[in-house]
Amino acid sequence: MKVSKTAKRFLPVRDGVRCKCPYCGETFVWPPPEMRCSGCGKTVRPPTGYAPPGKETRRDTVERIRKDYDRKRDAIGTTPTFKPSRDPKTFFGILAAFAVVCGVVGVMSAKKTGAPRGKPDPLAETLKDMAFYATALEHYKLDIGHYPLANKDSGLKALVEDPGEPDWAGPYAPAIRRDWWRRQYFYDCTNGVPVFISSGPDKIFGTADDLVAPPESFTPHPGFVPNDPVRKSNRPPPTVSIRH
């Protein structure tokens, strides 16, 4: 339904305006009987901006409230608007305060929910240490020709201190520590076969929870060079032990 520019300007359009049918061009007064064009009989839609009975009153009420608001706002003055500061110090200060608040909330939430604090797993850490010492024993064997002997080379101690072997180029380990249950490892070598065991969580050897280093863990590091002259030139002076 076409409406003149003048009618669009002075909305809303009310009952009684003359409309033109977009199908046949017939003119009639809105609203037509049964919402159909009197010329072609097709259903027509309300003209643009048409206000049904009662809507005109609502629009006038909204317009009156808006004008009253504008008048009161002008009377009390313009409300100052907040403009964020562009000073970098202010920005980073707000960012730091936000980070501190988030950290405090995170700590309080962790305490409340009882979340773990990243405590290491003794089983996983012991297995990791055993794999490291097994590799160090293999390095010792590649340099010396055999694994450390418990009755001659003091067992695992030969990885840290020179047992008197001429081809020793250690240390192969920084220190020999206990397992993560504070128990010493058991090491022995019989007929050239190393045995490396942790007593496990129950701290008793010979039980079902013992951790035994598998044969495949005695594997050298890919970058290890047997009898490397560079390692031998940097070897510490031999220690002298007095046996009683």
Determine the residue type at 209. D
Take residue 228 and report the two structure tokens written for it: 């490397």
CB 171 within 8 A of CB 231: no
Structural domains of the chain, ranges and CATH numbers in brackets: 7-74 (no CATH), 122-233 (3.30.700.10)
Closest to 159 (Cα-Cα) out of 227, 144, 151, 223? 144
3-state secondary structure of 40: coil
pTM here? 0.50
CB 29 within 8 A of CB 20: no
Residue 11 has pLDDT above 50, yes or no: no
Spatial distance between the Cα atoms of 79 and 49, rounded to a whole number of angstroms: 34
**Could you tell me which residues come within 8 angstroms of residue 162 by beta carbon, excluding any fewer than 6 positions away?**
168, 170, 235, 236, 238, 239
Report pLDDT digits (tens) over 99-113.
888 887 777 766 655
Q: Which pLDDT value is given to residue 113? A: 52
* 163 vs 235: CA distance, rounded Å: 13
Query: Using one digit for the tens of pLDDT, what is the confidence trace for 70-97?
Result: 888 888 765 555 555 556 667 667 777 8
pLDDT in tens, 144-193: 999 999 888 889 999 999 998 989 998 999 999 999 999 999 999 989 99
Q: Other CB atoms closer than 10 Å to residue 163's CB: what's the count?
A: 21
* Single-letter amino acid, residue 143: D
Would you say residue 38 has pLDDT above 60?
Answer: yes
